[in-house]
């Protein structure tokens, strides 16, 4: 029996393979400090858990509308309207089991398979963008990010990739894996290009609450942009709810089509989790704010410690809970071929990170080496973990 080429070629988050390696070492009793996991190390706030328990006890256990419980969509619409300063109606909103499914739905809603429709996406970036573009039969067009620009992209690089076949541009700010932010001036340029060349923008805003040094800016807030922007956000990162599987998206035209896709795939988002989401958005924000403050502090600590290592250069990222230090000099110094070899060496020495290759193919002409650390881990682990990196890179490990 044959398996389709589409399935055999399906991409993945190769980070999970690195993670399996780490877990194996831990099972073998080895001492490993891990900077691999892209999820908050906090428990979900108590009030949110209680809302879900209440929902279960009240019998909120059946299917819901595919777009989501209307009252929860009202909450999401209010939240989007307030935080993005636009008028989002509940009818524009769909709720799914995580933000991730919307990547595929948006690509399916804006491209047709096999006809050369193109989607531009950030590279390095969340690997599911590329894999879903290909799985949906569209053509992936990677947009290089520039370290010089704080891991945003050069507008000219974007301009050079736009063609008559461009259907959608994916942007992600704050960004995984670099923590980079797209500045408002650049969003304004992107908006002009989107209008001139008539393409959609998928704005992946799952790290919005984790924006540290400036106010978060959404491209959907710019004049005339909400119509052509799919805003996607989720409860995973800002409310420590990765396992609850809750994501939400809005667009005035595509909202109902997302619901149609959900009918075809998930039926609806988990019913009781939707009530937890309503509490997360409408309830007290103190716990969430405390988490953000803690990530902010840990970001500063991680960057400071990494920059004390000879051969490591780490930019101060504006958001998310990742740093993406440049380790080109460290690789040279140690005589290792690239960041993947460095990753393996670090793992042997008790510290787990991810390499840039886990976040996309290398951009042509780019010989710089990077690793990703998630600092969603305790401060003492950050101190000891980075000390281990220092010992390996500076010798004497
Ligand atoms: C950029 C980006 N988008 C989307 C997601 C998916 O989040 P969710 O847990 O809501 O599916 C992630 C998760 O790591 C992410 O990093």
Judge if the beta carbon of residue 247 lies within 6 A of ligand 1.
yes
Whole-number Å distance between alpha carbons of 79 and 249? 11
In DSSP notation, 270-281 reads: -HHHHHHHHHHH
Coil, helix or strand for 92?
A: helix
8 Å CB contact between 128 and 206:
no
Q: Among 40, 94, 126, say which to mutate for ligand 1: greatest number of ligand atoms within 8 Å of CB.
A: 126
Whole-number Å distance between alpha carbons of 390 and 394? 6
The pLDDT value recorded for residue 258 is: 98
Q: What percent of the chain has pLDDT over 70?
A: 99
Coil, helix or strand for 93?
A: strand
Structural domains of the chain, ranges and CATH numbers in brackets? 5-43+287-394 (3.90.1150.10), 46-282 (3.40.640.10)
Q: In this model, does residue 19 exceed pLDDT 90?
A: no
Beta strands 166-172 and 139-144: pairing type?
unpaired
Q: pLDDT tens, 111-145?
A: 999 999 999 999 999 999 999 999 999 999 999 99
The closest-lying atom of ligand 1 relative to the alpha carbon of residue 204 is: 3
Closest CA to 375 of 388, 359, 386, 391: 386
CA of 336 to the centre of ligand 1 (A): 31
Other CB atoms within a 10 A radius of the CB of residue 119 amount to: 27
Q: In this model, does residue 396 exceed pLDDT 80?
A: no
Q: pLDDT tens, 209-242?
A: 999 999 999 999 999 999 999 999 999 999 999 9
Judge if the beta carbon of residue 100 lies within 6 A of ligand 1.
yes
pTM higher than 0.95, yes or no? yes
Judge if the beta carbon of residue 99 lies within 6 A of ligand 1.
yes
Cα angle: 168, vertex 11, 325; to 5 degrees: 80
Q: In this model, does residue 360 exceed pLDDT 70?
A: yes
Tokens representing 257 are 């089509």
Whole-number Å distance between alpha carbons of 48 and 238? 13
CA of 376 to the centre of ligand 1 (A): 15
Spacing of C-alpha 368 from chain mean position: 22
CA of 100 to the centre of ligand 1 (A): 6
The closest-lying atom of ligand 1 relative to the alpha carbon of residue 235 is: 10
Judge if the beta carbon of residue 238 lies within 6 A of ligand 1.
no
Average pLDDT over residues 315-335: 97
8 Å CB contact between 189 and 155:
yes
Closest CA to 275 of 129, 64, 2: 64
Residues 6+ apart with CB under 8 A from 273: 52, 97, 244, 245, 246
Nearest CA to ligand 1 atom 4: 100
CA distances, 103 to each of 106, 130, 203, 389 (Å): 5, 10, 10, 35
Whole-number Å distance between alpha carbons of 162 and 186? 16
Q: How confident is the model at residue 397 (pLDDT cuts 50, 70, 90)?
A: low
Tokens representing 395 are 């010798």
In DSSP notation, 290-321 reads: HHHHHHHHHHHHHHHHHHTSTT-B----SBTT
Q: In whole numbers, what is the pLDDT of the chain averaged over residues?
A: 96
Q: How confident is the model at residue 39 (pLDDT cuts 50, 70, 90)?
A: confident
Q: In this model, does residue 372 exceed pLDDT 90?
A: yes
Average pLDDT over residues 273-289: 97
Judge if the beta carbon of residue 233 lies within 6 A of ligand 1.
no
Judge if the beta carbon of residue 179 lies within 6 A of ligand 1.
no
144-182 in b/e form (b: 16+ CB < 10 A) is bbebeebbbbebeebeebbeeebbbbbbbbbbbbbbbbb
Average pLDDT over residues 11-37: 88
Whole-number Å distance between alpha carbons of 258 and 281? 21
Judge if the beta carbon of residue 39 lies within 6 A of ligand 1.
no
Q: How confident is the model at residue 12 (pLDDT cuts 50, 70, 90)?
A: confident
Whole-number Å distance between alpha carbons of 169 and 197? 11
Whole-number Å distance between alpha carbons of 151 and 182? 8
Judge if the beta carbon of residue 172 lies within 6 A of ligand 1.
yes
Q: Among 95, 172, 206, say which to mutate for ligand 1: greatest number of ligand atoms within 8 Å of CB.
A: 206
Residues 6+ apart with CB under 8 A from 171: 122, 182, 190, 201, 202, 203, 204, 219
The closest-lying atom of ligand 1 relative to the alpha carbon of residue 172 is: 1
CA of 197 to the centre of ligand 1 (A): 28
């Amino acid at each position: 029996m044959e398996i389709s080429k589409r399935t055999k070629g399906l991409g993945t988050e190769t980070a999970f393979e690195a993670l399996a390696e780490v877990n194996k070492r831990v099972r073998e009793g080895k001492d490993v400090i891990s900077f691999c996991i892209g999820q908050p190390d906090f428990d979900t706030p108590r009030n949110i858990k209680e809302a879900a328990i209440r929902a279960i006890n009240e019998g909120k256990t059946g299917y819901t509308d595919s777009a989501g419980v209307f009252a929860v969509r009202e909450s999401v619409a209010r939240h989007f309207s307030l935080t993005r300063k636009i008028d989002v109606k509940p009818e524009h909103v769909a709720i799914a089991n995580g933000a991730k499914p919307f990547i595929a739905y948006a690509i399916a809603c804006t491209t047709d398979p096999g006809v050369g429709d193109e989607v531009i996406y950030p590279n390095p970036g969340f690997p599911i963008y590329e894999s879903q573009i290909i799985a949906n039969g569209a053509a992936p067009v990677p947009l290089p990010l520039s370290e010089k620009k704080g891991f945003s992209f050069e507008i000219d690089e974007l301009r050079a990739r736009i063609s008559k076949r461009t259907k959608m541009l994916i942007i992600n700010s704050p960004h995984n894996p670099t923590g980079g932010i797209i500045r408002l001036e650049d969003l304004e340029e992107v908006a002009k290009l989107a209008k001139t060349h008539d393409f959609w923008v998928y704005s992946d805003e799952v790290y919005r609450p984790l924006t540290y040094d400036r106010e978060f800016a959404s491209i959907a807030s710019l004049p005339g942009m909400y119509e052509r922007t799919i805003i996607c956000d989720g409860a995973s990162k800002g409310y420590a709810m990765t396992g609850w599987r809750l994501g939400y998206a809005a667009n005035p035209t595509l909202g109902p089509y997302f619901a149609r896709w959900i009918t075809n795939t998930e039926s609806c988002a988990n019913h009781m989790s939707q009530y937890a989401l309503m509490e997360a958005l409408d309830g007290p924000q103190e716990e969430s704010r405390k988490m953000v403050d803690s990530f902010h502090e840990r970001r500063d600590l991680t960057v400071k410690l990494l920059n004390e290592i000879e051969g490591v250069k780490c930019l101060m990222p504006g958001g998310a809970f990742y740093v993406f230090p440049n380790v080109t000099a460290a690789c040279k110094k140690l005589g290792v071929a690239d960041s993947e070899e460095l990753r393996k060496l670090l793992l042997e020495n008790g510290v787990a990170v991810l390499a840039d290759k886990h976040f996309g193919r290398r951009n042509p002409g780019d010989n710089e080496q990077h690793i990703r650390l998630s600092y969603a881990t305790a401060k003492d682990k950050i101190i000891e973990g980075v000390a281990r990196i220092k010992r390996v890179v500076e010798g004497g490990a």
